[in-house]
Chain A
Amino acid sequence: KNEVEQSPQNLTAQEGEFITINCSYSVGISALHWLQQHPGGGIVSLFMLSSGKKKHGRLIATINIQEKHSSLHITASHPRDSAVYICAVKGGTSYGKLTFGQGTILTVHP
């Protein structure tokens, strides 16, 4: 079993729909990242959080440390949101290296 599991692996939505991507992890962590990767490879950090909830524009990230679970929500989805979304965790005793989930491929149709 991977240390970081994401669901779903693939997600297709219509423009305007509310989207949720889930991440579960099995190790103790000091922080969790949500990352976005477009075709071509570049990775952009969306959020880094260690507790509670963060919001940026139409994106919301939540984390429940006790349940070892995080969610990324996209409100009013748009075709430009189509990308791979990756959850990554930083272990509490590591030097900061990230352990990644396998990613969720999101496609938003107009």
Chain B
Amino acid sequence: DTGVSQDPRHKITKRGQNVTFRCDPISEHNRLYWYRQTLGQGPEFLTYFQNEAQLEKSRLLSDRFSAERPKGSFSTLEIQRTEQGDSAMYLCASSLWGGTDEQFFGPGTRLTVL
């Protein structure tokens, strides 16, 4: 297994457009997390899945944000009607609950909203 992967690595979009990011976790991991990191800050929690169930969402996740993990494997994060304030690095992590539950991070998707 090559670890957590994310696609795309970079996305530039115009304000008002919709964007979708994908995360493929480590194959046996049942927990998947999305975080957002703005320049010079530590990451902030957005949402979390255990298998296909979305169990927790941050108040940072406005109605324009939606995340899915349809079969408990890969996950998508969609941002509708993007705003300049959405520009950030979007990080995905996965872990095995029932094991060490240590989180392993993907390389991130850097979003720039013009």
Residues of A within 8 A of B (CB): 4, 31, 33, 35, 40-45, 48, 86, 88, 90, 94-103
Contact = CB atoms under 8 A, between A and B. Distances in A.
Contacts, number: 67
Interface residues of B, number: 29
Contacts of A42: 105-108
B73 interface: no
B104 A45 contact: yes
Interface of A is mostly: strand
A41 B103 contact: no
B105 A96 contact: no
Interface in B29-53: 31, 33, 35, 37, 40-45, 48, 50
B91 A43 contact: yes
A96 B99 CA distance: 12
B102 A45 contact: yes
8 contacts: A33-B103, A41-B91, A86-B43, A96-B101, A98-B43, A100-B35, A100-B42, A102-B42
Given A48-B100, A95-B56, A98-B43, 18 more contacts: A41-B89, A41-B110, A42-B107, A42-B108, A43-B43, A43-B91, A43-B108, A45-B104, A86-B43, A88-B42, A88-B43, A90-B101, A96-B48, A96-B97, A98-B93, A100-B42, A100-B44, A102-B40
Contacts of A40: 107
B45 A99 contact: yes
B36 to A, nearest CB: 11
Contacts of B101: 31, 90, 96
Contacts of B105: 35, 42-45
A45 B43 CA distance: 14
A96 B41 contact: no
A86 B89 contact: no
